Amino acid sequence: MLYTRRELGRLALAGVPAAGALLKSGSALAAGKPNSKWAGVQVGLNVPYSFGNNMMTGDETLDRCLQLGVSAVELRSQPVEQFLGVPMNLISPRGRGTPPPDPAAQKASAEELSKWRAGVPMTKVQDFRKKWEDAGVAIEIVKFDGIYNFPDDVLDYAFNLAKNLGARAISCEIDVPQTKRVGQFADKHKMMVGYHGHTATGPAQWEEAFSFAKYNGANLDIGHFVGGQKTSPVPFLTQHHDRITHIHVKDKTFDDKNVPFGQGNTPIKEVLQTIRDNKWPIQATIEFEYPVPEGSDRMAEMAKGLEYCKNALLG
């Protein structure tokens, strides 16, 4: 649910914790622009994933970012392509329990989507970017699903789309052997790719991907790193900071459970302060995944996460 600042004020006076948290995190909006860059470190959100719906429109995604006072994001491609007019059946996820399409239909849909992408006017992409920049929210990273299945011309499209959105990197899940091909396009376009790791991803996999291309990088998820490696991600961050496009900020325990910030084993404060003290241009991207506590909601919990990061950086 979206709220106006007047509505949030009324709710805060009535003692609703979510409203108070949102007002506090979004206080920069009183000056007309959001600001989630503290002590030189840009804190952002993975959207619209963190809002619980990858198919959320660009307008609603932007509105929610503004409510939270967020000034930079890692944005998935779906809201952008919706704005550009993609046939929704080509990008909509299959519902739980829905049988997979037959291979011929799947191939036909992929070919139709590739053809549509080849005809996208980049001037319209720039219109999407302008709306976000005018609101004060930078699109720093663009995430693509299924990138390893993209034919060559669609890989070019992905990099061009990201460039026209003003991004400095793209991101995707890691599949080490496949990063060799994607890395060739990254080097061609001179744009970093941040490969996102999960609990099974360790330093060796990223280092192998780094060896394939100059612009192959890491989207270091510090929660997954702790949940999988059972150790701090700070040494890896320090060793490979020039290859890290952005980090995903979440708190996990050593037994791989997602918990609210400050309740797990992930050294969030140390990681943020390491980026701050070294002045590394690495976005600290909150990726919301822990269960929402009773009596709260996603927006309130994300506001708390932003406040946690702010206090860590300014403390």
Mean pLDDT by 10 residues, the chain (315 residues): 49 45 49 90 98 96 97 97 92 66 83 92 97 98 96 97 98 98 98 97 98 98 98 98 98 97 98 98 98 96 98 95
Domain limits for position 76 = 5-27+34-93+101-314
* Domain containing residue 289: CATH number: 3.20.20.150
Which DSSP state fits 71? Answer: -
Q: How many domains does the chain have?
A: 1
Whether residue 203 contacts residue 234, with contact meaning beta carbons closer than 8 Å, is answered with no
pLDDT at 94: 61
| C-alpha span between 139 and 65 (Å, rounded) | 11
Cβ proximity of 209 and 179 under 8 Å: yes
Q: Which helix (H) or strand (E) holds 183?
A: helix 179-189
Host H or E run for residue 110: helix 103-118
Name the 3-class secondary structure at 38: strand
> What pLDDT, on a 0 to 100 scale, did the predictor assign at position 17?
45
pTM of the model: 0.89
Long-range Cβ pairs for the range 125-134 (8 Å, 24+)? 125/80, 125/84, 125/161, 125/164, 125/165, 126/164, 128/58, 128/80, 128/83, 128/84, 128/165, 129/164, 129/165, 129/166, 131/58, 131/62, 132/58, 132/62, 133/166
pLDDT at 104: 85
